[in-house]
Amino acid sequence: MRILVQTTCLANGELSALIAADAVAAQPGAIESEAAARLVAAGPLASSVELDLSGVSEWDSASISWVFRVQRAIQAAGRSCRIGGLPNDAAGLLELAGSVPERKGARRSEVSVPLLEGIGQQAVQLWSDLLEWCDFVGELLVSLSRALRGKARIPVRDIWVTMEECGPSALPIVTLISVLVGVILGFIGAQQLRQFGAEIYVANLVGIAMCREMGGIMAGIIMAGRTGAAFAAQLGTMQVNEEIDALKTFGFSPMEYLVVPRVMALIVMMPLLAVYADVLGMLGGALISSFALDISLLRYFEQLTSAVFLKDVALGVAKSCVFGILIAVSGCLYGMRCGRSASAVGIAVTSAVVAGIVAIVVSDAVFAVMCEVLKI
């Protein structure tokens, strides 16, 4: 929209503005806002402002909203603003827009927060998130112990269904990822070990790495993206549909009815998936050894049995149990505290996956330190 503003100051301190605009020739907002700014700046100086719009040839929403904005700004400065020369229909629309006064406090503006305050707010937020986690885990433990003592009614069918969803259905992707991780580890390790003529130790490298670290972590990350996200989405949607409210009012504890079965299913399935990933990763290592490194399968497995001990596998399994709990908790927590809209479900899923992966990596670091101290 091109807008021409011709202002005249009258002797009695009034400002008269003749405005010519061409709504059809839509122009970038620069001219428009410049003209508006000039008018608004001049407005408070004058005792009253008259906008003469007879020069405007055609109307659309953009031109009316422009006049509306200018009028509001001048009125906000405490000056009266008369408008003349409007065609009837446009005047009617303008009046309609101004007829209900703006609700006080309804308008929200972006408040820019100083850097330090922002950091502080984030820290406080992080702390309250952490407290919420603790709250949730505490409640979960109470419910779990009630369930194990047979005091809570747990929907057994849901446990089976969830186990099926997060176990067998995840096998293809876990297979693919762990074989490839085994191959990659073997390949990179062999390149380095060859310099010392110690290629055979590829078996040690792949075996130890898979059993102690990679099997659990890879399975965990896949589960966080697959199952953690699914948990958050399921519970979030139930929250949006008021299904969780309905559960509560029928006397079902959402914790016992929704969260406990999911956590139980994942506690059972995660170690199995981790062991499966360990085995396939070592097979991947065997593949690369026999095809690319001329180590016979027999030699590889002999070396493997002398390198990997039960404690390594046990450590991996123990870790994967913890990962399973963390994934299930983050999925369920973000699902349960989901807002009431469709976009809130999206946010809940994203937060659940991110929090799940962060929790896995952080707890893995804690495990690493503990193993170092305990010499495992």
User: Which residues of this chain interact with another protein, rule CB under 8 A?
Assistant: 153, 237-238, 241-243, 245-252
List Cβ neighbours of 315 (8 Å cut-off, separation of 6 or more). Answer: 211, 212, 367, 371, 376
Q: What stretch of H or E contains 248?
A: helix 243-249
Asked if 42 contacts 75 with a C-beta cutoff of 8 angstroms, the reply is no
Residue 51 or 263 with smaller CB distance to another protein: 263
Distance of closest approach, residue 113 Cβ to another protein, in angstroms: 19
Residue 17 or 238 with smaller CB distance to another protein: 238
State the Cα–Cα distance between residues 300 and 264, nearest whole angstrom.
37
Distance of closest approach, residue 135 Cβ to another protein, in angstroms: 17
Residue 326 or 348 with smaller CB distance to another protein: 348
CB environment 17-55: b (16+ within 10 A), e (fewer): bbbebbbeeeeeeeebeebbeebbebbeebebbbbbbee
Residue 68 or 252 with smaller CB distance to another protein: 252
Distance of closest approach, residue 68 Cβ to another protein, in angstroms: 25
Other C-beta atoms lying within 10 Å of the C-beta of residue 276? 18
Two tokens at 41?
Answer: 């700046």
Residue 130 or 161 with smaller CB distance to another protein: 161
Q: What stretch of H or E contains 89?
A: helix 88-99
Residue 77 or 152 with smaller CB distance to another protein: 152
Residue 79 or 337 with smaller CB distance to another protein: 337
Residue 117 or 245 with smaller CB distance to another protein: 245
State the Cα–Cα distance between residues 278 and 154, nearest whole angstrom.
32
State the Cα–Cα distance between residues 72 and 318, nearest whole angstrom.
66
Tell me the CA distances in angstroms from 147 to 165, 178, 244, 253, one per residue in order. Answer: 22, 34, 20, 12
CB environment 293-320: b (16+ within 10 A), e (fewer): bebeeeebeebbeebbeeebbebbbebb
Distance of closest approach, residue 344 Cβ to another protein, in angstroms: 15
Q: Could you please report the per-residue DSSP string of 143-181?
A: HHHHHHTT-S---HHHHHHHHHHHTGGGHHHHHHHHHHH
Asked if 326 contacts 363 with a C-beta cutoff of 8 angstroms, the reply is yes
Other C-beta atoms lying within 10 Å of the C-beta of residue 122? 10
Residue 145 or 191 with smaller CB distance to another protein: 145
